[in-house]
Structure 1
Amino acid sequence: MADLIVFGFCVAIVIGASAWFHRQEVMAADAARVASGPAGCVALSSTDTRLRLGVAGLTLIALLGIVVLGGSWALLLLTVAYIGIRYSLFALFRQHAQSSQLGLLFDAVKAPEIKQAEIAFFFSGIDLAEPQHLQMWKASLDSLGRPWLAVLSEVHHRAFFGGDDMPPAILVNDASLFGGVLPPPTKLVFYANNAQKNRAMIAANPQVLHVQLLHGDSDEPPSYSVLTKIYDFVFVAGQMAVDRYRDNGVIIPEERFRIVGRPQFAAIKSGPDRVHDGTAPIIGYMPTWRGFYEDSQFSSLDRAARVIEGIRETTPNAKIVFKPHPLSYKDPDWARYKAAITAALGPHGRFADQASEPFDIYNEVDTLITDISSVMIDFLFSGKPLIVVLPELYTSENAWRYPSLGAAYLVDAKLENLTEILTAANTDDPMRAKRLEMQKYAFGDYGRPPGEAFVETVQALLGENAQKQLTERANPDE
């Protein structure tokens, strides 16, 4: 009886260990994967699989034989021996998977869906759960009608690729392999942030042009970062963005800028789509997140409940749509802010769905309240009244840093003129002419369909640079 109990225990151990080691091998293969398609993936061969099943089968047969002959200790020793053999097979496979990345990368670049790519989009965002900067530009790159691929440097972003609605992707988290990630036809590499790994990608691929797109246009420091000097070209929305670099002491030669507008604005309805009753407007409020540093503290989130209460007092019939910045949900004080905001919103206000796009809010509302951020410039395209809550750090001496404010109604940091501003924006709207003037300055493609200038500019670069003309990249530390 004791032998049967030990036998049952050992069989369970063998079967359980087999399943566990198999799962670990699948995970090791997945960790070594370098492409979203079938190429670039290490896997167990049919011989490897048969070997593993054979070892497990022989072990189970031997266990059955031993229980017939008797001997609990022999059962246990055989089980331990199986686990040792199975672990050795797993360790060898894991080592093989880890050492195969260079070969896998070589195979992936030759895959049919990748080898024709003329454009690559390099994305690194360690702290971002999703590849949102790439997602922002995907439709614009698709509109080019040219094959392109995504180059990822963080494993957790690979899960978003592989479907028919996404481009082929290559994952390379080892910067020493960046030089082998581009297929021969590739002429342009796009970036939408200034991640640290961008420098390594540029250094490893001097044969192509490197273009910074960024992921929004604002008067905040990321929109005039000195790191932008390392790219061959910088795509900007309009002349205001070019002047912003110069005015903040970041000197980039004029010929390296390309004014392309904001292709994403195709989703924004330009101009009011209805005549609203000034006594019952739909007012959106989209504060930015609270920055980590004093010089990037532009948020009015800490005063959001007071802003909403001010709207209620000035325009009791207004419908309010509140959408915080996604990073605000991680704010240590978010629970307290949310409770106060919810109470202030009351029955005629609501939180926008977290999955909703900012452009959906722009199209829905009659007036928008926000902070100094990319939301401010994006909403400017709509032509509707824009109200900006000024940060504490704003003074008349540093007003030149925020040219976009010239088209907005300005609420002081203490909210003392909120009532006056709300009344003006929702009635006579005296800033209307100023917004039109600022639109032409901010958006170089004003009057043209959004995205048209972007397509023309990219097509020109692809045509002119079959053989790359090297540019002298400035050192951002100089």
Structure 2
Amino acid sequence: MTIRRLCGVLRVRGTTELALALLLGASFAALPVVALLPSLWGFVAATAVTYLADEALHVRAPAFVRRLAALHLDRTMRFAVRTVMLLALAARLDAPDAVLVAGLAVFSAHYAMMTCYTAVHHAVRRRRVLPLVVRNLDMSELPVPPQPSAFFYRRYLRKLLHLDLPAHAGLLVAAATGSERAAYAGFALTLATTAAALLAVLAQYRTARRMPAREEVLAAVNRQLTGYRLQVALYFSFAAVSRDFMYQVNMWIETLEQLDLRPVIILRERASFRYLSRTWIPVVCVPRADDLAELDLSAVRVVLYPGNAGKNVHMLRFAEAKHVFIGHGDSDKLASSNRVSKVYDEIWVAGRAGRDRYQRVRHAISDSAIVEVGRPQLSPIRLHADHAPGPVPVVLYAPTWEGWSDDDCHTSLIPMGVPLIEKLLAENVRIIYKPHPLTGKRSAEAAAADRMIRDLLRADNNERHGAAEAEAAEAAARPRLKEIQARLDELAGRHRGDDAEQLRTSRVPDRAAAAEWQELRAEWHRVFWESRGPLRHNVITRQLPALYDCFNQADLLISDVSSVVADFVASLKPYVLTNAHDLSDAEFRAAYTTAGGAYLLDRACTRLPAILTAVRSPHPDPMTPARHTLKHYVLGPDHPTSLQRFNTAVNTLASRAETEGVQGGAGVAA
């Protein structure tokens, strides 16, 4: 328990990171002691440990390093402490005054040049910030200089600080041998390399001054958009860009690519590109509202909104277009029938359940504004009849997050997540645990429960028969998975360049790459699941494996009130809804539509054994008829297909916007 508390306080994970943190603290504490004794070899050992532990922590425990910076013990301060202790050691060892003065001057000059380097580096970065970033438009006409060399551009402070190593080594060698020449050689090397780095970044600044002006960039993008003749825009904004919210956009990409009309994706946060999936659709990221107002979007007839956000008002002001809230999933949460949705011309829902959900928000949403279009993105989900069970039942536990407030908190993690996993482990099942990307964002209790569940699954994996062979299989598959992921990132247009480099290299993509993308994703999933074997538990936290592929692996879903459940209904597989507040079955089913085909699990999980027995073959599953009825109610009919209905809705609304625009123009002319 003490180790766990220390890990929590220091923000490290596991005993290895804790040992590194304690080692760093102990070695820095030892520096003044061995410097004042004085002990040359003790100082050499302590200094080496500080360097190595510092580097290891930057790689393994970045949260701990950030906490040190918040306490004014950042990397620069740690290097400065090491330097001061070195000079103190040299003085205690009676080093010549000339060497001490030269050392002080060299280290002072080194830090001064680092300050200048930082100022110039920031100036280069500011120069390379453009009003917008694009993907899949040909921006070759813009004279954007290439990004500075990554060697000088990325993690520059980390590299600059280590340029003091020659001076440190030279002074220590001089102290050990009595040769002043070693000290001066180290001083000269530190000064020369630091000065060379400063000259290099000054040359980069000279290049960065040739960046095109804001007006020139906007004009070039508008020319490309005019040539593309966009008609439909998917608009997305979310403030918490440190997390992967782009699943709300990515789920719609394949649907947009199959529309009759020409789509474009408009984003508002630069970090969104980090998580954007592959697409040939033009993508424009415009952080500032003033720049968005200068984009030529006059040809857009339909704007689709997958999320409600404050910045939506910047797009809603375009009166020529029709604005539609499409959401990012149908759930029984209050947010899925928000009164804010009244600002849109139409609200598109999957099935009758979505219409009824909005009708419960009385005097807010007109029934004529609601259109049932299905869920086009659910086609990859395999039906229960096509599922081949493995040697043990596979249970997918996909809890939702804790919400922005307690009023909207539907997660089962806090009240029952840990005991649920413990009881599942006692039932000899294989668990796939996929928490919501925002888990722990607001609640420390949810974050703690999430960590405990991961620890339980890890421990059970280690205790299972053949654990060593399974870990070897995972390790063997890792290079191939990494290779496929690198190619997927390349096809998606992800690279390590800055925004200006993204715009400079933007070109119209080859649509044939979509086939390669699908093949690689299928291979990635195949390699991943085969390497995991049929018995090991899995914790899924990244974009891959995808949620719907986890659906296809599972025999049973356990989840909370969320859109995950509504999507899983498409499989017709059995699923369980957590009733964390122990409402009566009648109350719970009346409150939440998706409970109509669900088994309900009480907070104490006493029903879990009976539920698992009911869904295991050869036992008849009593909820099967209810799930068939619910699927039609929640997701709509199978024919015409959801994609056809969605495409028809887009075409119809675009025609209406065009007609009203022509009539409005004629009225103004009259």
- Whether the TM-score (by the shorter chain) exceeds 0.5 is yes
User: Is the Cα contact below 8 Å between 2:395 and 2:432 reproduced in 1?
Assistant: yes
What residue in structure 2 maps to residue 63 of structure 1?
none
Give me the whole-angstrom Cα distance separating, in 1, the residues matched to 2:396 and 2:133: 43
Q: Following superposition, which runs of at least 4 residues in structure 1 exceed 6 angstroms of deviation?
A: 13-20, 89-92
- Aligned equivalent of 1:52: none
Letter in 2 for 1:403: T
2:439: which partner in 1?
A: 328
- Which residue of structure 2 aligns with residue 350 of structure 1? 537
Counterpart of 2:567, as a letter, is D
> Aligned partners of 1:399 and 1:431: how far apart in 2?
13
Matched, 1:423 2:538: no
Normalized against structure 1, the TM-score is what?
A: 0.76
Write the letter of the residue equivalent to 2:411: S
* Counterpart position of 1:75: none
Mapped to 1, the partners of 2:589 and 2:330 lie a distance apart of 17
Contact 1:239 1:441 in 2 (8 A): yes
TM-aligned CA distance change 1:106 to 1:255, over 3 Å: farther
Q: Measure the CA separation in 2 of the matches of 1:236 and 1:468.
A: 24
- 1:221 aligned residue (334, 340, 343): 334
- 2:637 aligned residue (433, 442, 445): 445
Distance of 1:416 and 1:19 partners within structure 2: 61
Q: Deviations over 1:324-382 (max 9, x none)?
A: 22222655413334223444676344124432111011111121111111111111110
Partner Cα distance (1:322, 1:220) in 2: 22
Q: Which residue of 2 aligns with 1:66?
A: none
1:378 matched to 2:567: yes
Output the amino acid matched with 1:350: H
Alpha-carbon separation, structure 2, partners of 1:216 and 1:114? 33
Where does residue 475 of structure 1 map in the other structure? none
Q: Per the alignment, in what secondary structure is the counterpart of residue 381 of structure 1?
A: helix
Secondary structure of the residue aligned to 2:439 is helix
1:230: Cα distance to partner?
0.6
> May I ask how many residue pairs the two structures share in their alignment?
419
Equivalent position to 1:180, from 291, 294, 303: 294
Counterpart secondary structure, 1:122: strand
The correspondence of residues 12-411 of structure 1 with structure 2, limited to 5 A, is 21=120, 24-25=123-124, 27-36=126-135, 37=137, 39=139, 93=209, 100-102=213-215, 104-111=217-224, 115-128=228-241, 129-130=243-244, 131-158=246-273, 165-203=279-317, 205-249=318-362, 251-274=364-387, 276=389, 280-302=392-414, 303-313=416-426, 315-316=427-428, 318-328=429-439, 330=441, 331-333=446-448, 334-343=450-459, 347=464, 348-354=535-541, 355-392=544-581, 394=583, 397=587, 399-411=589-601
Output the TM-score relative to the length of structure 2.
0.56
TM-superposed deviation, 1:246: 1.4
Displacement of 1:34: 4.3
Deviates more, 1:245-254 or 1:376-385: 245-254
Distance in structure 1 (CA, Å) of the matches to 2:654 and 2:227? 17
Q: Which is richer in helix? A: 2
Q: Distance in 2 between matches of 1:446 and 1:184?
A: 36
RMSD of aligned alpha carbons: 3.9
2-structure distance, mates of 1:407, 1:45? 58
Structure 2 counterpart SS, 1:465 = helix
The question of whether the paired residues in 1 share the 8 Å contact of 2:302 and 2:324 is answered with yes
Deviation at 1:383, TM superposition (A): 0.5
Q: Distance in 1 between matches of 2:421 and 2:294?
A: 53
What SS does the corresponding residue of 1:466 show, helix, strand or coil?
helix
More divergent stretch after superposition (424-433 vs 297-306): 297-306
Q: What residue in structure 1 maps to residue 189 of structure 2? A: none
8 A Cα contact 2:352 2:634, kept in partner: yes
Task: Assess if the C-alpha contact under 8 Å between 2:330 and 2:563 holds in 1.
Answer: yes
**Residues 1:112 and 1:291: Cα distance change in structure 2 (over 3 Å):** closer
Q: Residues 258, 213 of structure 1: CA spacing in aligned structure 2 closer, same or farther, 3 A cutoff?
A: same
- The C-alpha deviation readout for 1:149-194, integer Å capped at 9, x for no partner, is 1212112224567x97342222222223433324332111111000
Q: Deviation per CA, 1:383-421, whole angstroms, max 9, x where unpaired?
A: 011111112274555653311101101011222222222
Contact 2:582 2:602 in 1 (8 A): no
Following TM superposition, by how much is the alpha carbon of 1:43 offset from its aligned partner in structure 2, in angstroms?
A: 5.3
Distance (whole Å) between structure 2 residues aligned to residue 44 and residue 403 of structure 1: 53
Q: Is the 8 A contact 2:349 2:355 kept in 1?
A: yes
Q: Secondary structure at the match of 2:129?
A: helix
| Mapped partners of 2:342, 2:594: distance in 1 | 23
8 Å Cα contact 1:114/1:148 also seen in 2: no
SS in 2 for 1:235: strand
> In the aligned structure 1, how far is the partner of 2:263 from the partner of 2:654?
12
Distance 2:288 2:417 in 1: 43
Q: Could you tell me how far apart the structure 2 residues matched to 1:14 and 1:281 are? A: 63
Distance 1:415 1:179, change over 3 A: same
Q: What CA deviation, in whole Å up to 9, does each residue of 1:24-48 have, x standing for no partner? A: 43652234344334649975689xx
> Relative to structure 1, is the Cα distance of residues 332 and 363 closer, same or farther in structure 2, using a 3 angstrom cutoff?
closer
Q: Structure 2: which amino acid aligns with 1:441? A: Y
1:79-137 Cα distance to aligned partner (Å, 9 max, x none): 9xx99xx89x979959x97xx44553233121168641111111111213443222111
Distance 1:437 1:92, change over 3 A: closer
Q: CA deviation at 1:276?
A: 4.3
Q: Which amino acid in the other structure matches residue 255 of structure 1?
A: S
2:573 maps to a residue whose letter is K
Counterpart contact for 2:387–2:552, Cα < 8 Å: no
CA distance in 1, matches of 2:641, 2:418: 38
Q: Distance in 2 between matches of 1:312 and 1:320?
A: 8
Distance 1:45 1:367 in 2: 54
Q: Is the 8 A contact 2:395 2:558 kept in 1?
A: yes
Provide closer, same or farther for how the CA distance between residues 122 and 274 of structure 1 changes in structure 2, counting only shifts above 3 A.
Answer: closer
CA contact (8 A) 1:295 1:393 kept: no
